[in-house]
Amino acid sequence: MIDAIYAHLPILLIVLPLVAAPCCVLVGNGRAAYLLALVVSFLTFACSIVLLGEALDHDVIRYELGNWSPPYGIEYRVDIFSGFVMAFVSGIGAIVLVYAPLSVRDEIPASKHYLFYATYLLCMTGLLGMCVTGDLFNVFVFLEISSLSSYALISLGRTRRAPLAAFQYLILGSIGATFILIGIGLLYQMTGTLNMADIAARVPHEHGPRTVLVAFAFLTVGLCVKMAVFPLHTWLPNAYTYAPSVVTCFIAATATKVSVYAFVRIIFGIITPGFAFDVLPLDTELMLFSLVGIFIASTAAIYQDNVKRLLAYSSVAQIGYMLLGISMATPTGLSGGIVHMFNHALIKGGLFMVAGCFALRLGSVQLSDWKGAGRTMPFTALAWAIGGLALIGVPLTAGFISKWLLLTSAFETGRWPIAVLMLLSSLLAVVYVWRVVETLFFSEPSEAAANATEAPLRMLVPTYVLIGATLLFGVWTPYSAGIARQAAIALLGGTP
């Protein structure tokens, strides 16, 4: 029995939330749906942890869907990289659910609660599916599952701007998805297969037909939209700002990271870094857009009064750091990019949770309404300070680890100007983080803040789990930077 479950873990990871989602709808009761979603999310988390452990022990786990052998059938593949991303996506998904009920009750009408949890599970299914599958078309399918459900989740926001933000995201997201689909179609036309490993073996790189180049271009641009790379990020600030707090926590921590995952898979698995970075100047372009994006988005973050929007712009900037690491294509740089996916998921998830706590108690995410809230909600405010320090990249926080890896890699490859720019850009983070800290601790309390009480424990504990994790993974890195390094070495093909 146990063995049978073991053998089917890769598919269980998808089936569990996928089946639980309609069950939530059938139950039709917010509370029951919540319990179901909670149990399922922890089960998937357990599954992905076991899978990651297996991948670390025995290299790649292959699973043939319906016993159809690839390339005819769909193959699920779990290696260290996908296991790592799956683990943190499902882990954060579970923790956010623990945090969710009070915030959901506050922000979403009770009649829609069961639908909310169903959609949440669907979104998780899509994200995990993108990680687990080894089939390119399947990636697209799961991408659409996660995207469509996130449009729905975002539109649940309290204000009337939420549906508009979701619509904006829908338009841009669909354009991105269409680009990806065109890219996949062209690759299929050239190779006659959809299995990623198979495509990689067959695709003619150099001196190949122009079709391949066009396919790569479509895939890159499409994924850049989903990753919210500057200047294709325009959907993100509104979507993060107007979505319900819980949705923002989950999507900000996971959705863009999974798109980055897919991008890395395609670059290192199909296009190959040699072709993308040596023959094509993709690395220079990525670095350029990343750096410009980091500076512009960080500067924009400084001027926001809406804290969720501030964090959203910061997310756009942080994606830039991940891409910087990826485009360096060295073991250190790539592992820096990968570990930053994880670290940033913890940090941003934690910070959005803090924003959710304030939203619950103060009824607003405008910075002007947060004035002096540090006096009445000291623990929530302290969580912001710690998370903010991690975002800046201060030592003993997770943000420092990723920043350090990216810096050393920039120096290793002789790109010291990038190191300088990266460090200067973190100064912008100091400004936008500290603006909030000063408002929380030093301003005269606003009326709402003066009457507020500390956030409920049911929200504070999950928040501190993530914030505590940023501290833990800032000093103890075998399971963050260590795994990321193994993943990077595997992606770059063999021994370091």
CA atoms within 13 Å, Cβ hemisphere of 493: 8
Which residues between 451 and 490 bind another protein (CB under 8 A)? 475-477, 481-482, 485
Q: Is the dihedral of CA 306, 308, 314, 319 positive or negative?
A: negative
Cα–Cα–Cα angle for 226, 134, 208, rounded to 5 degrees: 80
Our CB check for another protein shows the closer of 114 and 432 to be 432
Does 438 bind another protein (CB under 8 A)? Our answer is: yes
Phi-psi region of 192 (alpha: psi -120 to 50; beta: other; left: phi over 0): left
Our CB check for another protein shows the closer of 127 and 428 to be 428
Q: Which stretch binds another protein (CB under 8 A): 5-13, 52-60, 353-361, 394-402?
A: 394-402
Cβ atoms of residues 346 and 387 within 8 Å: no
Burial 55-87 (b: 16+ CB within 10 A, else e): bbeeeebebbbeeeebbeebbbbbbbbbbbbbb
Q: How far is the CB of 60 from another protein (least distance, A)?
A: 23
Q: How far is the CB of 448 from another protein (least distance, A)?
A: 19
Our CB check for another protein shows the closer of 235 and 400 to be 400
Q: CA–CA separation, 313 vs 374, rounded Å?
A: 24
Q: Which stretch binds another protein (CB under 8 A): 46-54, 134-142, 360-368, 386-394?
A: 386-394
Query: What binding mask, one character per residue, do residues 408-437 give for another protein by CB under 8 A, x or -?
Result: x--xx---x--xx--xx-xx--x---x---
Q: How many residues bind another protein (CB under 8 A)?
A: 31
Q: How far is the CB of 399 from another protein (least distance, A)?
A: 11
Q: Which helix (H) or strand (E) holds 78?
A: strand 75-78
Q: How far is the CB of 427 from another protein (least distance, A)?
A: 5
108 contact partners, CB below 8 Å, separation of at least 6: 116, 156, 158, 244
The DSSP bridge partners found for residue 64 are 75
Q: Which stretch binds another protein (CB under 8 A): 37-45, 128-136, 249-257, 404-412?
A: 404-412
Does 56 bind another protein (CB under 8 A)? Our answer is: no
Our CB check for another protein shows the closer of 278 and 438 to be 438
Q: CA–CA separation, 289 vs 390, rounded Å?
A: 24
Our CB check for another protein shows the closer of 254 and 477 to be 477
Does 405 bind another protein (CB under 8 A)? Our answer is: yes
Our CB check for another protein shows the closer of 299 and 408 to be 408
Q: Tell me, what amino acid is at 276?
A: A
Cα 122 vs. chain centroid, distance in angstroms? 16
Residues at the interface with another protein (CB under 8 A): 389, 392-396, 401, 404-405, 407-408, 411-412, 416, 419-420, 423-424, 426-427, 430, 434, 438, 441-442, 475-477, 481-482, 485
